[in-house]
Chains A and B, each alone.
Chain A
Amino acid sequence: MPNLNEQKGKKIMDKKKERIISLLVYNKPDVLARVAGTLGGKGYNIESLCVDVTLNPDVSKIILTTVQTKSTVSKIEKQLERLIDVVKVEDLTDVETIKREMVLIRMNLTEASKSDLIRTVNTLNCKIITFNTDHCVLEYTGSKDEVDRVLVKLKALGVDDIARTGIAALERKN
Chain B
Amino acid sequence: MKLKGAQIFIRCLKEEGVDTIFGYPGGAVIDIYDELFKSDIKHILTRHEQGAVHAADGFARSSGRVGVALVTSGPGATNTVTGIATASMDSIPIVVFTGQVPTHLIGNDAFQECDITGITRPCTKHNYLVRSVEDLARTIKEAFYIARTGRPGPVLVDLPKDIMAAEAEYDPAKIKVNSTLEQPPKPVSKKFVQMMEMLKASRKPLLLTGGGVILGKASDELQAFSRRARIPVTSTLMGLGAFPGSDPLWLGMPGMHGTYYANMAISHCDLLITIGARFDDRVTGKIDTFAANADIIHIDVDPSSINKNIVADLPIVSDARSALEIINRMLKDHGYTASDAHRKDWLDEIETWKQKAPLTYSQDSSVIKPQFVIEKLYELTKGNAIITTEVGQNQMWAAQFYNYDHPNTFISSGGLGTMGYGFPAAIGVQFAFPDKLVIDIAGDGSIQMNIQEMATAVQYNVPVKIVLLNNGYLGMVRQWQELFYGKRYSQTDIAIQPDFVKVAEAYGMVGLRAKKPDEVEPTLKKGLSIPRPVLMDFQVCREECVYPMVRPGASISEMTLGTREMIN
A residues with CB within 8 A of B: 2, 4-5, 7-8, 10, 30, 33-34, 37, 41, 71, 74-75, 78-79, 81-85, 87
**Assembly CA distance A55 to B288 (angstroms):** 48
Taken together as a complex, chains A and B put the C-alpha atoms of A4 and B287 apart, in Å, by: 10
Select B181's contact among A30, A75, A84, beta carbons within 8 Å. A84
Those 8 A-B pairs whose CB atoms lie nearest each other, nearest first: A78-B304, A84-B126, A78-B303, A41-B122, A4-B311, A7-B311, A79-B304, A37-B121
Pick the contact of A7: B125, B126, B288, B303 (CB < 8 A): B288
Task: Out of A2, A10, A75, A82, name the residue touching B307 (CB < 8 Å).
Answer: A75
Contacts A2-B288, A8-B311 hold; do A82 and B117 have CB atoms under 8 A apart? no
Contact check, A37 vs B122: say whether CB atoms are below 8 A apart. yes
User: Roughly how many angstroms separate A129 CA and B122 CA in the complex, as a whole number?
Assistant: 43
Check A81–B303 contact: CB distance below 8 A. yes
The distance in angstroms between the C-alpha atoms of A2 and B308, with both chains bound, is 11
Question: If the complex has contacts A33-B118, A87-B180, are A75 and B288 also in contact, measured as CB distance less than 8 A?
Answer: no
Nearest residue, chain B, Cβ from A34: B121
Q: Chain A residues near B182: list those with CB within 8 A.
A: 84
State in angstroms the CA–CA spacing of A8 and B287 once bound together.
10
CA gap between A78 and B129 in the complex, in Å:
25
Q: Could you tell me the distance in whole angstroms from the C-beta of A5 to the nearest C-beta in chain B?
A: 8
Interchain nearest-CB distance for A12 vs B (Å): 11
Check if A7 sits within 8 Å of B304, measured CB to CB: no
What would be 8 A-B contacts, judged by CB atoms less than 8 Å apart? A7-B287, A7-B288, A8-B292, A30-B121, A71-B307, A75-B304, A75-B308, A78-B304
Q: In the complex, which residues of chain B have a beta carbon less than 8 angstroms from the beta carbon of A75?
A: 304, 307-308
Chain A residues, Cβ within 8 Å of B310: 7
Closest beta carbon of chain A to B123's beta carbon, Å: 10
Residues of B in contact with A (beta carbons under 8 Å apart): 117-118, 121-122, 125-126, 129, 146, 180-182, 287-288, 292, 302-304, 307-308, 310-311
Given known contacts A4-B311, A7-B288, A87-B180, is B118 in contact with A81 (CB within 8 Å)? no
CA distance A59 to B308 in the complex (A): 29
B117–A2 CB distance below 8 A = no
List A contacts of B302 (CB < 8 A). 82
For the complex, give the distance between the alpha carbons of A81 and B305 in Å: 12
Known: A71-B307, A81-B303, A82-B304. 19 other contacts (CB 8 A): A2-B287, A2-B288, A4-B311, A7-B287, A7-B310, A10-B311, A30-B117, A33-B118, A34-B121, A37-B121, A37-B122, A41-B122, A74-B307, A75-B308, A79-B304, A82-B302, A83-B126, A84-B125, A84-B182
On whether the beta carbons of B304 and A33 are closer than 8 Å, the reply is no
Bound-state Cα–Cα, A6 to B182, Å:
33
- Nearest B residue to A7 via CB reads B311
CA distance A4 to B290 in the complex (A): 13
Chain B hits for A82, CB < 8 A:
125, 302, 304
Q: What separation, in Å, do the CA atoms of A2 and B304 have in the docked complex? A: 17
Q: How far is the CB of A80 from chain B (nearest CB, A)?
A: 9
Q: Which residue of B lies closest to A5 (CB)?
A: B311
Complex CA–CA separation, A30 to B121 (angstroms) = 9
B121 touches A33 (CB 8 A): yes
Give complex CA distance A7, B309 in Å.
Answer: 11
Nearest CB in chain A to that of B117: its residue:
A30
What residues of B have a CB within 8 angstroms of the CB of A34 in the complex? 121
In the assembly, what is the distance between CA of A84 and CA of B177, in Å?
13
CA distance A84 to B287 in the complex (A): 31
B463 shortest CB reach to chain A, Å:
39
Q: Which residue of A lies closest to B302 (CB)?
A: A82
A75 to B181, CA, bound (A): 21
* A41 surroundings in chain B (CB, below 8 A): 122
Q: Point out the residues of chain A lying under 8 angstroms from B126, CB to CB.
A: 83-85
C-alpha gap A82/B129 in the complex (Å): 19
- Min Cβ gap B280→A in Å is 14
The residue on A at minimum CB distance from B182 is A84
Closest to A42 in B: B122
> Are B304 and A4 interface neighbours, CB within 8 A?
no
Q: Which residue of B lies closest to A74 (CB)?
A: B307
Q: Given the complex of chains A and B, what is the CA–CA distance between A171 and B88 in angstroms?
A: 37
How far is A7 from B310 in the complex, measured between Cα atoms in Å?
Answer: 8
C-alpha gap A12/B533 in the complex (Å): 59
With both chains docked as a complex, state the minimum distance between the C-beta of B130 and any C-beta of chain A, in angstroms.
13
CA distance A82 to B308 in the complex (A): 14
Q: Which residues of B contact A37 (CB under 8 A)?
A: 121-122
Closest to A76 in B: B304
Min Cβ gap B118→A in Å is 7
Which A residues are CB-close (under 8 A) to B292?
A: 8
Query: What residues on A are CB-neighbors of B311 within 8 Å?
Result: 4-5, 7-8, 10
Q: Which residues of A lie under 8 Å from residue B146 when comparing CB positions?
A: 84
C-alpha spacing A43/B125, complex, angstroms: 19
Which chain B residue has the least Cβ–Cβ distance from A82?
B304
Q: Give the residue name and chain of the B residue nearest to A83 (CB).
A: B126
Task: Give Cα A87–Cα B181 distance, bound, in whole angstroms.
Answer: 9
CA distance A87 to B178 in the complex (A): 12
In the bound complex, how far is the Cα of B288 from the Cα of A37, in angstroms?
29
Chain B: minimal CB distance from A34 (Å): 6
Is the CB–CB distance between A4 and B121 below 8 Å?
no
Let me know if B288 and A4 touch, CB within 8 A: no
Chain A residues whose C-beta falls within 8 Å of the C-beta of B288 in the assembled complex: 2, 7
**A8: chain B residues within 8 A (beta carbon):** 292, 311
Closest Cβ of chain A: how far from B307's Cβ, in Å? Answer: 7
Complex CA gap A82/B125 in Å reads 8
Q: Which B residues are in CB contact (< 8 Å) with A10?
A: 311
Minimum C-beta distance from A106 to chain B (A): 33
Kindly list chain A residues whose C-beta atoms are within 8 Å of the C-beta of B304. 75, 78-79, 81-82
Specify the chain A residue showing the minimal Cβ separation from B180: A87
Most buried by B among A4, A8, A71, A81: A8
Min C-beta distance of B255 to chain A, whole Å: 18
Residues of B within 8 A of A33 (CB): 118, 121
The reply to whether B117 and A4 contact each other, CB–CB distance below 8 Å, is: no
Bound together, the chains give a CA A58 to CA B121 distance in angstroms of 22
> In the docked arrangement, what's the CA distance between A86 and B424, Å?
35
Using Cβ atoms and an 8 Å threshold, which residues of chain B touch A78?
Answer: 303-304
Provide the bound-state CA to CA distance between A85 and B124, in Å.
13
Cα–Cα, bound, A34→B126 (Å)? 10
Task: Give the shortest distance, in Å, between A161 (CB) and chain B (any CB).
Answer: 31
B289 → chain A, closest Cβ, in Å? 10
- Shortest B230–chain A CB gap in Å is 27
